[in-house]
Structure 1
C-alpha cells in the first residue's frame, strides 16, 4: 500500500489505479509512483493513439499541448486525400489543443521506466469544441440521451487473433505456436485447452490490465485458430470506449513481449472467421435507474422496439463507422459466422441485432455487425445514434426472425465505397453526428479506397495473369 509522508495510509486518490480528480491530486499521484514520463494520447479517426510524451514535471506545469488539425485528415496509410466539396483541409493547418482527462490517468505497465498515460480531449486553441474528433462525436451522442433524462449503457466484446510474426505483407498470416510447440488449429470455440496454449501471454494481459485499472469480465477462445475474445463489464459509453482504446494497445504490447502479433483486422486469415466487436446496449432512466427498455410490469417497452427499429433502419447506412476498411467487408460474407442482414431476433446469433435472454432489468440489444478494426468511439457513437433515431422517430421494427437470417440476399453495403455513399446520403445521421464529421470521415475513407486500388492482389495474379 502507498504511504503518505507521515506514515499514515495514503488518501484514496493516491491508491487509485485509474484516474484522479484534479491537478493537485495528479501531482501527488505521479510523485507517489515515481513517474518520470507521461504519454498524452488521443484517438485519431482510425483509433490509433496519437499525442505527445513529456517529463512528468512538464506535464504538471500547465504546459500547452498542441497537435496539427491535419491529424484528423490522413488515411490509415498516412496519406492526405484530395479535397472535395465536403472534405476540406483547414487553410492554415492550425493547432488543436490536447486537454488531459485526468479520470483516465494510469500507469503504462509494459514500459521499463516509470511511465503514465492519460487520454485527452481535443479542442481549438481558444477552447472551442472540435466536433469531428472521435471522443467528441461519442460525447455528443451521449449528451443527446442525457437531454431526454436517459443514460446509455454498453458492454463491448472484442475479438482478435494472435498471429506469428510476419515482416513481409505479401505473405499470408499464420497462427503462432503455443506452449505445445505446435500451431493451434481452428474449431476451438470456448476451448480451455486453446486458452492454455497461451497461458503466459494471457497472464500478462491480465497483469497489464489490472495495473491500468481495466476490468476484464471474461476471456474465451473463439472459433478461429488462436482467435480470442475479451468481454468488458457494462458501463458508460465513453469510459468503455476508453477501455477498448487502451485494451487494444495493451493486448498488442503483451503479444509483442512474447514474440508474436495481436491483430484486430476484421479478416486477417482467408477461410477463417473474422473478428467482431459486438456491442450490448441498453438505456437507463437517470432519475429512477429503471431500464427504459422495460415497462414497470417487466414487459418490453415501446422505446425498446423503436430502438430496434432504428437499428434496422439506420445501421446499414452508418455501417462504414462500424466496418471502416476494405478488409472489414471480407468478414461480412455468407457462411463466415457474421450477420449479413439487418434482422433482429430473440437469442438468435444469425441476426444483426440479437436480444439476449435476460430479466427485465437487463433487457438489451446486441449489435453484432461492428468489426474489431473499428474505432471504438465511432462504432459506439454510430450504434447508439441509430437506436436513438429510432426512438425519436418512433420507427417500428420488422417481426423478429426465428430461424437463420443469413439464408436470403445480403441486406448490407457490400463494400467500402457503397457504405460511404450510404452514410453521406442519410440526413438523419448528419443531424446527430454532424455534417462536418461526415464530410471529413467520408473523404478519408474514399482516400483509403483509392490507395487500396493501387495494390495488385494475389487473386489477380493467379487468375488474370495468363487467362485474360
Structure 2
C-alpha cells in the first residue's frame, strides 16, 4: 500500500488538474457506491466531514437510520485513466465513521482492519492474491445485458476465436495504470468467460483492489459494447465463475507456511491455518457465496469445489495447497465467488485461520483422489462434509457460528442475515420461468 498523506492527495489533485473526486465505499454486500464531489470540497472530505445516511451502507431502509461520514484513505488516491486528463476524475476509497470519528459498526473495511490488527499482535502479516473469473456478454438494442456470449472460445484460446482479447487487454492495461500488479489473464473454459489474476499484496490492499476490479472491468467492457457479469452462475449451459483466494502469513520476511523439513514441505502453522478454515467453512459460506445464485455453481461437477476438505492435487475440495514451495507456499480457497464482499471474506478467512493456529486445529489428511468416486458412506467415514446446498442453509449455519458473527460484528451480522433471509424468501415465493415451462402445459 502506498504511503500518501492528506497533503500529498491535495497536492496531486492540483498537480494533475483534477476537477472531480469520487468518494468510493461499499455497503455490507460489497456493492461499490460513491459520492462525487468537486475538488474544492476535497479538503473538507479529507477531514471526514462529508455526511450521508446510513441506509446506503446497511442495504435496507428502515426507521432507525442515522448520519454517518466518509473518511478517505489517502493511500487509495488514483486518477481514472479512461477520463480526460484535462478536468480529470480521481477516486478515494473511504472508511465509514460516526460523526465523532469512531468506526461505524457496518463499515466492512474496518471489520477487516480489526482482524489485521489482531494478526499484527502475533507478528503476522497476511498476503492475499486472487484469480477472478467473469463473463463478457452482448447487450441488446436497448443496451440491456443479455446472456449471449460474445465468442465460442474455450480455455486459453487465442484470437480470432477469443473475441474478448482486446477488451481483456484494455482491462489489464487500465488496471496496471491504476497501480495493480497483474499476474496473468486468459480465456476461461466457457464461451465468453475470462480470468484475470492479481499478484499477492497485503490483505487490505487486495480487498480494495478486488472491489475496484469489478468497477474497472465493467467500465472497460461497456466501452467495448459488452456487459461484464460477475454472477456465479449466469446461465444453465455455462460454467460458473469463481474467485480463488490465495493466502499466506508472513513473519517479517519469512513465509510461515513453508517448512523444508515438514510433510509436503508445509509447516505446522500452515496445517493449523487450513484446520481453522475447514472448521468454519460451512458457516462462512453465506459470506464467501452470498447470493441465491451462488449455490447453482456449487454442485458436483467438473472442477467444482463442493467438499469441505483440503488437497495438494484435487480441485473438488474447497482448499488446495498448490505445488509451489519456499516463498510461494500458499493456501488457496476455491469456493468463493466474485459476488462476495472481499472485505468480509478476507476478514473471516484470516480470523478462522488465526483461530486454527491458536487452538492447533490440525486437519485430517489431504484428500487427493477423485471425491466423486467416493460413496456418501465413504465421505462420512472420513468426515468429509459438503458446503450448504442453498442460501437458506448457509444462513442457518452462519447464525450458529459465534466466531464468524463476532468477527463481522453483531450489528452488521444482524442486518446481513435479515437481508439474506429476505432475499431467500423473495426467491422462494417468486414464480420462475422453469416452473412455467415445466408445469404450465400439464396443469
TM-score (norm 2): 0.91
> Which of 403, 425, 431 is the aligned partner of 2:400?
425
- Computed over aligned residues only, the root mean square deviation of the Cα atoms, in angstroms, reads 2.3
List per-residue Cα deviations over 1:27-69 (Å, max 9, x = no partner). Answer: 2201111111000010112222223111112112457111211
Q: Please say if residues 164 and 173 of structure 1, whose CA atoms lie closer than 8 Å, have aligned partners that are also in contact.
A: yes
> Which of 69, 73, 81 is the aligned partner of 2:58?
73
Aligned to 1:179: none
1:270 aligns with 2:270: no
Which shifted more, 47-56 or 202-211? 202-211
> Which of 67, 71, 95 is the aligned partner of 1:99?
71
In structure 1, what is the Cα distance between the partners aligned to 2:213 and 2:7?
Answer: 28
Aligned to 1:441: 416
- Cα deviation, residue 170, structure 1: 11
- Cα deviation, residue 90, structure 1: 7.1
- Cα deviation, residue 355, structure 1: 0.5
Q: Please say if residues 194 and 221 of structure 1, whose CA atoms lie closer than 8 Å, have aligned partners that are also in contact.
A: no
- Cα deviation, residue 351, structure 1: 1.5
1:329 aligns with 2:314: no
Question: Aligned pair in 2 of structure 1 residues 42, 440: CA closer, same or farther (>3 Å)?
Answer: same
Q: Please say if residues 137 and 145 of structure 2, whose CA atoms lie closer than 8 Å, have aligned partners that are also in contact.
A: no
Question: Aligned pair in 2 of structure 1 residues 326, 103: CA closer, same or farther (>3 Å)?
Answer: same
In structure 2, what is the Cα distance between the partners aligned to 1:174 and 1:98?
Answer: 39
In structure 2, what is the Cα distance between the partners aligned to 1:243 and 1:294?
Answer: 26
- Tell me which protein shows more strand as a share of its residues: 2
| Structure 2 counterpart SS, 1:126 | coil
Q: How many residues align?
A: 428
Aligned to 2:41: 58
> Which of 110, 114, 123 is the aligned partner of 2:88?
114
1:379 aligns with 2:353: no
Question: Aligned pair in 2 of structure 1 residues 391, 259: CA closer, same or farther (>3 Å)?
Answer: same
- Cα deviation, residue 451, structure 1: 2.6
- Cα deviation, residue 462, structure 1: 0.9
| Structure 2 counterpart SS, 1:60 | helix
1:48 aligns with 2:28: no
Question: Aligned pair in 2 of structure 1 residues 316, 328: CA closer, same or farther (>3 Å)?
Answer: same
Aligned to 1:221: 187
Please show how residues 48-447 of structure 1 align to structure 2 within 5 Å.
48-61=31-44, 62=47, 64-74=49-59, 80=61, 91=64, 93-112=65-84, 113-166=87-140, 173-176=147-150, 184-185=151-152, 188-193=154-159, 196-286=162-252, 289-295=253-259, 297=261, 299-408=265-374, 411-447=386-422
Which shifted more, 105-114 or 260-269? 105-114
Question: Aligned pair in 2 of structure 1 residues 55, 311: CA closer, same or farther (>3 Å)?
Answer: same
- Cα deviation, residue 393, structure 1: 2.1
What runs of 5+ residues in structure 1 fail to find an aligned partner?
Answer: 1-17, 81-88, 177-183
In structure 2, what is the Cα distance between the partners aligned to 1:440 and 1:381?
Answer: 17
Which shifted more, 45-54 or 231-240? 45-54
Question: Aligned pair in 2 of structure 1 residues 377, 205: CA closer, same or farther (>3 Å)?
Answer: same
| Structure 2 counterpart SS, 1:121 | strand
What runs of 5+ residues in structure 2 fail to find an aligned partner?
Answer: 377-384
Q: Please say if residues 272 and 336 of structure 1, whose CA atoms lie closer than 8 Å, have aligned partners that are also in contact.
A: no
